[in-house]
Structure 1
Amino acid sequence: MPFTATYSQYLYIGASAPNASTTYTNDAPTVTSSTLSDTEDGTDDGDIAPGQLIDWSASGGDVQVVGTTASGDPVVLAVGAGSYFVLSNSPFPPGGTPMGFTASTYTMCFAAGTGIAVPGGEVPVEALSIGDLVLTAEGAAVPVKWIGRQTKHSLFSGAMSKLVRIRAGALGDGLPHADLTVTGDHGMVLDGLVINASALVNDDSIDWVPSSELPETFTVYHVETEDHDVILANGAPSETFIDYRDRRAFDNFGEYLDLYGCERIIPEMAHPRISSARQLPAELRARLALELSPCKGAICA
């Protein structure tokens, strides 16, 4: 059964390919329900990369996905007409507002239900509030500066924002103590390294969550503290939010601006970052039973 996504309105944004400076138009949106279906790219797995074809019920011809807006809404090209549209279930911003267009989306987040260590126990990430204390891996209690939320659509999640499931005990020493689900770009801290979860996938104890197991939409969260910290997620050392450029993609970005007035750059911790399995030390690869070939899963790292 193909993945589908239904939107309440769509907006014509012109005949030129969108880029980072593209803005919303002053045109009135077409307020009518339309559906995108993953039936045209040779699979029905809900993974639609920029440039791949998709079926759009509002169009009688070929349609390509070209990317997403900062809020995660899909941007498509009606190929025959050479017209670009953005689809949404939310009101469109005023004309002239930057779309924040990207060809893919990268977001470092925890899935709902992740237990974050706090003084006295654990709290589900979605239950944390600004000002709550969380424990670092060193045992310090630090306040939460912000909890970012983003609604993701399984049909349009870029590869690095797809979910990686780390099975209980997969990282060694019984950690995490329960299955942990994070996005592919989220950094786990092992042996003094910050390692993107995507680089840890071994297609066994650490694997990509199949799109077929995901609901049409789901929410992911990030925990921001004053510094780039190491906190405990289901007991496993994990980074707090770092990439300020992605903050605009969160549902509650406006809340951040209301609280703090502007975005900020968070200096990254001194630990080296690893984004590819090939960069992992051999000892760590062996410990995680991570084979580099043949390439499996959602991404060849």
Structure 2
Amino acid sequence: MPSPDSYSYAYFLGTTPPDGSTAYTNRYVTDTTMTDGADGASNDTTTVGDPLTWTGTAQNPVTLYGFNADGDPIIAITGTLSTSYWVASNRFYDADGSVLVGPVTSGDYTYCFAAGTEIATPSGSRPVESLTIGDLVLTADGRIVPVKWLGRQALRTGIAARRAQMVRIRAGALGDGIPHRDLTVTADHGMILDGLVVNASAMVNGDSIDFVPLSDLPQRFTVYHVETKAHDVILANGAPAETFIDLVGRRAFDNFGEYLDLYGFERIIPEMPRPRISARRHLPAALRERLAPRAPGTNATRRSA
């Protein structure tokens, strides 16, 4: 039986598909639950566009429409005459029209490291979750730069499953000793290879680089992102990886308020001058060959999960 996700607030957004200009105007304090299974697979996984069960919606069809700027699910309820849109959340939003839903996404926007990832610093490697603002980290080209902010985001493997998709890069999968131990990042986190920024999902080869099964992840876990002054390349478990780039606003992180308290407004970070590869089919042939699974006995990285 799938596990329900519980919410304390329901926000009615109207009957027009929400976008970045949609505001919260109707808040209901009510305990509701959202459950997977309506899509025909009771696997605690619901992706955007799939049906789900939301308490209090009678027999009307319910689908997952997307996510708001804070990562809360937006639900579409299809009635006889119209479709209504709601946000289910445990966050208290002012419902006076002053707070916007923000960009509506399908969820594939988190660029983060899993807890335990070792980040290179001048005094040795440190777990990413132990870093604080002002701590110094090493870039791949040997510079020392301070941490401007450490973004934290709690993910769930239930309703928001697509946002929780992680990629495991086995030790040595990117080269001799790179990374020096298994590295787990979100699917869209950029790794730096051959002068390119390559999203982790584009490197998946089904063997030494693969998606982490959702069943292997806890129901709730936290991921982290390191922000420096520029869009830098730092070392994560010895592998070159990007720092935070504001392709999507920091609002998605749980400690966004901390950022505003520190800096007052969201800072724009220019992206590093490297092409980004977001799909495997766009990999150059030489890099695709380099990332291919290796046969046993050839400095292989092949291991069971």
TM-score, length of structure 2 as denominator length: 0.88
Unaligned runs of 5+ in 2: 295-305
Aligned positions of 1:78-89 closer than 5 A: 78-80=77-79, 82-89=83-90
Q: CA deviation at 1:69?
A: 1.0
Q: Deviations over 1:128-183 (max 9, x none)?
A: 00000001111211100111111222224474662111111111111111111111
Match of residue 297 from structure 1? none
Query: CA contact under 8 A between 1:14 and 1:84: conserved in structure 2?
Result: yes
- Does residue 264 of structure 2 align to residue 265 of structure 1? no
SS in 1 for 2:257: helix
- Does residue 233 of structure 2 align to residue 234 of structure 1? no
Note closer, same or farther for the CA distance 1:22–1:221 as it changes in structure 2 (3 Å cut).
Answer: same
- Does residue 157 of structure 2 align to residue 154 of structure 1? yes
Q: CA deviation at 1:4?
A: 3.1
Q: CA deviation at 1:90?
A: 2.2
Paired letter, 2:94 = P
Q: CA deviation at 1:111?
A: 1.2
* 93-102 vs 168-177, which moves further: 93-102
Match of residue 74 from structure 1? 73
Aligned positions of 1:9-48 closer than 5 A: 9-25=9-25, 27-32=26-31, 34-48=32-46
Query: CA contact under 8 A between 1:67 and 1:76: conserved in structure 2?
Result: yes
Note closer, same or farther for the CA distance 1:17–1:259 as it changes in structure 2 (3 Å cut).
Answer: same
Query: CA contact under 8 A between 2:37 and 2:44: conserved in structure 1?
Result: no
Match of residue 294 from structure 1? none
Match of residue 246 from structure 2? 243
Q: What CA distance in whole angstroms lies between the structure 1 residues aligned with 2:96 and 2:220? A: 27
Query: CA contact under 8 A between 1:160 and 1:185: conserved in structure 2?
Result: no
- Does residue 140 of structure 2 align to residue 137 of structure 1? yes
TM-score, length of structure 1 as denominator length: 0.90
Query: CA contact under 8 A between 1:54 and 1:63: conserved in structure 2?
Result: yes
Q: Deviations over 1:70-120 (max 9, x none)?
A: 111111122236332211122223421101141312121111111111112
Match of residue 224 from structure 1? 227
SS in 2 for 1:30: strand
Q: What CA distance in whole angstroms lies between the structure 2 residues aligned with 1:112 and 1:224? A: 16
Q: Deviations over 1:216-251 (max 9, x none)?
A: 222111101011111000110001011253311111
Q: What CA distance in whole angstroms lies between the structure 2 residues aligned with 1:260 and 1:103? A: 26
Query: CA contact under 8 A between 1:133 and 1:142: conserved in structure 2?
Result: yes
RMSD: 1.9
Q: What CA distance in whole angstroms lies between the structure 2 residues aligned with 1:161 and 1:229? A: 24
Q: What CA distance in whole angstroms lies between the structure 2 residues aligned with 1:119 and 1:289? A: 33
Q: What CA distance in whole angstroms lies between the structure 1 residues aligned with 2:52 and 2:11? A: 17
Q: What CA distance in whole angstroms lies between the structure 1 residues aligned with 2:76 and 2:92? A: 20
Query: CA contact under 8 A between 2:9 and 2:27: conserved in structure 1?
Result: no
Match of residue 63 from structure 1? 62
Note closer, same or farther for the CA distance 1:224–1:186 as it changes in structure 2 (3 Å cut).
Answer: same
Query: CA contact under 8 A between 1:136 and 1:142: conserved in structure 2?
Result: yes
Q: What CA distance in whole angstroms lies between the structure 2 residues aligned with 1:57 and 1:160? A: 23
Q: CA deviation at 1:3?
A: 4.7
Aligned positions of 1:88-107 closer than 5 A: 88-96=89-97, 97-105=99-107, 106-107=109-110
